[in-house]
Amino acid sequence: MLKFYIKLISSIPVNDIIDCPTFLIIIEWQILLCLIESYRFSLVAPTFIKKLHSYRGYVYNAPNVSIMCWVECAPICTISWLRDDIPMNFTKTNRYYVSNVYHPPDPRTDDFESIQSTLIWNLTVWPNGQLDRAEDNVKFTCKSSSNGIGPGVESFTHFHVECMFHSNLSFWRDDISTCLHFIL
């Protein structure tokens, strides 16, 4: 439609354009409004804007830990999280929480309405405020619902707790005992 509009404008003689600028402004606004309205009311099956990385590692004593996925879907869909293929129930655990952000359509970035979901570790309830290498090496899945236009989508990551090595290849005493405990 926009290409047709550009061709239409370019085929009008310059003298005619100068004689009727109001007409062109009205046409421009009508086309712009038409494009915005058609964009706003588009129906889109769930599609990832941002998937989870296939592997995500954090050092055991990382101060902030989170993973995020972002799904475009119109009408809007919901996001759920799974830990080792088991749905996470956030009313039964305080170790994690979710932050969901709704994004309205944005024609400037060519994005339809979408939902961005971030799974956040509440490290204040972890023993010593740190990840546990034995317990926390798991698979996490971000899964959208169907929205009636198309089926849901899912993405997963292998989450691993890693040892912290210092740049000079020496490590602190706590790092040595923690890493050796899990390596041996």
What residue ranges do the domains of the chain occupy? 2-40, 45-183
In this predicted structure, the answer to whether residue 177 has a pLDDT above a threshold of 90 is no
Are 142 and 79 contacting, i.e. CB atoms less than 8 angstroms apart?
A: yes
153 three-state secondary structure: coil
In this predicted structure, the answer to whether residue 57 has a pLDDT above a threshold of 50 is yes
What sign does the CA torsion over 64, 66, 70, 75 have?
Answer: negative
CATH of domain 45-183: 2.60.40.10
- Pick from 22-26, 154-158, 159-163: least confident: 22-26
pLDDT at 81: 98
102 three-state secondary structure: strand
Q: In the structure encoding, which two tokens stand for residue 135, read together?
A: 């317990």
pLDDT at 30: 60
In this predicted structure, the answer to whether residue 13 has a pLDDT above a threshold of 60 is no
- Pick from 8-12, 21-25, 83-87: least confident: 8-12
Distance in angstroms (rounded) separating the CA atoms of residues 64 and 18: 60
pLDDT at 110: 85
Query: How does pLDDT run across 101-156, given as a tens digit for each residue?
Result: 999 998 888 889 999 999 999 999 988 999 988 888 999 999 999 999 999 999 99
Arithmetic mean of pLDDT over the chain: 79
Mean pLDDT of 51-72: 95
Are 175 and 71 contacting, i.e. CB atoms less than 8 angstroms apart?
A: no
Is the omega angle on the peptide bond into residue 75 within 30 degrees of 0, that is, cis?
yes
Are 81 and 141 contacting, i.e. CB atoms less than 8 angstroms apart?
A: yes
